[in-house]
Structure formats: C-alpha cells, structure tokens
Amino acid sequence: MENINKDSDVLRSLAYKYYAYSQNGTMDEKRHLHMAVNDLEAARPAVFLDELPWHELDHDDILRLKCRDSFLRGIECYLRREIYRYENMPGDMIIPPYVPVQKIIYDTGIGISVKEETLKTDGRNNIISHEYFDQLADENDLLKLRFPEITYDENETFRRYNMLGEIIGDIVPVKLQGLPYFGSSPWDEIAQLRGVSNLLVDLADRPDFTHKMVSKLTDISLYRLQKYEELDLFDYNPHPTALHYTPILTRALPGTQYNGDTKITRKDVWGRGAAQIFASVSKEMRDEFDIQYMIKTIGQCGLSYYGCCEPLDTMIDVIGKIPNLRKVAITPWADIDIAAEAVNTNYVLSVKPNPSVVGVSNLDEDELRKEIRKILKAVRRNNCSCDIVLKDVSTCGYNPGNLVRWEQILMDMVKR
C-alpha cells in the first residue's frame, strides 16, 4: 500500500501539468490542422517528432521513472514523455484531454517465431543490429504457420482502468484505448522470419513458393482483422498521432462523432501497410507480391496509409491501386520532387526528413534548411497536403538541443 501511495503522488503531480497543457487554446487549432491534412485541405504542413532517443534526453533525471507498480510505471512514462515533448519540441503535437489505458489484447502468434542474433553499439540504446535465420525455407515450413488465438482480457483491463481512475480521475479523465488502426505488413514479418537475402532471391527464383508464403500470412492477417471486429477492439477516437506518428483525425471516418451504438468495423478505421524490404525491387514486383495483397487487407479499411522507410517516389501509380488510399510515406531516400508531382492533390504526402542531421554533436542548420526548403517548394508547387515527421532518431549526438532547434527551424519555415 505504501508503494501505491507513493506511485499515486508521482502520477497526480504529473497529471496536473499534463491536463493543463491539454487545455491550451492551441489544441483546437492543431486538431483543425491535423484534420485538414488528412482531408487534403491543409494550408501548411503539420510537423511532428517521434521515435526519439529517450536515453539521451534524460537530463537532471527529468524522465527517470519513480513508480514501482509496472502498469503505473507505464502511465508515468507516457506522461513524462508527453510533457517533455510539449515543453521542448512540440511541433504540432496534441496532448489529448485524457490519459489512455490500453485494452489488453493477447495474441498467441503464428506458430513460428523469429530466430536472430543481435548486436548493440550503445548499451543504453534500444536500436540494435539484427541477423535473422530462415524459418520459412521450404513448403514444409509453411505447414507450421497457424491462425493465432486472439483474446481480450477485459477483467484486467478494467482493473487497471479503475485503478488509474481512482488515482488521477479527479484531475484528468481516463479513457479506454483500443486499436487505432489495422496494420498488415507481411513482408516486414517475412524479413524477420527468413532474413533479407533469402526472400529477395526467392522473389525471382521461387515465385510460386513466395506467393504461397505471402498468401498464408495474408490469410492470417485477415483472420486477425475478423477477430478484432468480433471482439470490438478498434478505437473510435484514438490518440491524435496514433497513425504511425502521423495525424489520424479525418472527417472521412466516424472519429469523435461515433455514437457507440454499434461495433466499429474495418470501414471505420485506417489501414496501415508497408513493405520496407522491397526498397530494392521493381515496380512490377511490388505490385505482384505486395500491393495485390494490400488490396485484400488494408484495402478493406475506410482509408489506407502505405509506406514506411522504403522509397516510393516512383511507385505512386502502383500504390494507388489500394482502395481508399489517402496517405503515402516519403523517405529521405526518395526524390521529393518526383514524389510530390505524382502525389499531387490525390493523397497526403507524409514526409520523413533525414534523421541523421540531428545525430551529430551540433546541428548543421544550413544543411537542415536546405533539405526542408526543397521539401516545402515541392509541396507548394504541387499543392500537396503534407505532414513532416522526424522519426527513427536513434541518436541526437547526446545533444537534446539538436531536436529542440530542429523543431524551431521547422515550425518557422512551415509557418512562413
């Protein structure tokens, strides 16, 4: 009981500050901006920072966790990080006027698991190198794949919900949070189950086997989608940047207007897909071995967002085959001029600037402005609706000021 009381004191102190920030008058303006971006009506790009090297940002123990209870410790981590980002590098982030409690969902897996060796270069960093070993070498291995058992632990979820409500509910509302979108990226999964070289060679040497493999994983993905619907696990109003760190708000989906009378279906949520390992394959191969399967999965959702770290500037016409496609990721390895011209006013251009610019001792501001100026010119020239997200930041050179200054420069440039 003593530990819980101490945990309560920690959380209540953070909750007061968190809720005060959530009530800032700029939050409504940012909600309009988020929605305008996804509705292809944005006057300027929206800016975000996420996937940060938190181990490098904890100066003066400001991010050090003090709660003893494992669940409350997770809530404390969420509150500290949201407050830190808002105070130091807010961009266009929204602090929602509630604290989320995630629904506890169990997934027994697909029958086989990843086997790998890893290597760390920084003991404090969770970004590590992976070498994967082939678990799907032949058709006999495909027989090991199975449909997972999906369950929702409602009792434990509500125990946590009620527990947190008793601690901070008089300060800030507590909200149950379901799945924000439906994700299906079979090739990201295959890369971990097979290793990179094996799967790339088999695209050319064993296309029939490769189709059988991705077909099986697609069936498993569709089974998960069915179970999510049956168990009512999707969320009608998820965290504002829950769509892989980009805005999720849109008038095209029920969102905050959902009345809760019926279960949320695939048509009410975003679909999210990618094939990062296809960075080196042709447009025809992406179409045959990935997009045709995306059509069957995320193509069933209300809106679709495709792409992650793979360059897609020359693939827009193929990706456009996905029904209800609304957003496309553009990485530093893509040509922004080609991408913006192809996307035009048809989709949201979700631009990921190069994170290496902040991974040095001191930020090269001239180089950053040059990169962002090129992005903004391409966006403006083609009337693109756009969000700009600094993500995959494995290091900021142990200089948090790099991230602070990155945000300041970006906000100044997009507003001008």
- The per-residue pLDDT for range 323-332, each reduced to its tens digit, is 999 999 999 9
The model's pTM is 0.94
% of the chain at pLDDT higher than 90 = 88
Which band of pLDDT confidence, cut at 50, 70 and 90, is reported for residue 315? very high
pLDDT in tens, 374-389: 999 999 999 999 999 9
Query: Residue 403 and residue 223: Cα distance in Å, rounded?
Result: 41
Return the bridge partners of 174, or none: 99
Is a pLDDT exceeding 60 seen at residue 204? yes
The answer to whether the CB of 110 falls within 8 A of the CB of 146 is yes
* pLDDT for the residue numbered 124: 72
Q: How many domains does the chain have?
A: 1
Domain holding 87: CATH number? 3.20.20.210
Q: Looking at residues 251-280, what average pLDDT do you find?
A: 86
The answer to whether the CB of 92 falls within 8 A of the CB of 34 is yes
User: According to DSSP H, which parts of 153-259 are helical?
Assistant: 154-168, 186-194, 196-205, 207-230
Query: Residue 401 and residue 65: Cα distance in Å, rounded?
Result: 22
The answer to whether the CB of 76 falls within 8 A of the CB of 11 is yes
Query: Residue 30 and residue 314: Cα distance in Å, rounded?
Result: 32
Query: Residue 298 and residue 360: Cα distance in Å, rounded?
Result: 38
Computed over every residue of the chain, the mean pLDDT equals 94
Q: Provide the domain limits for residue 182.
A: 2-415
The answer to whether the CB of 12 falls within 8 A of the CB of 168 is yes
Q: Looking at residues 9-25, what average pLDDT do you find?
A: 97
Collapsing DSSP states into helix, strand and coil, what is residue 125? coil
Collapsing DSSP states into helix, strand and coil, what is residue 381? helix
pLDDT in tens, 168-192: 999 999 999 999 999 999 999 999 9
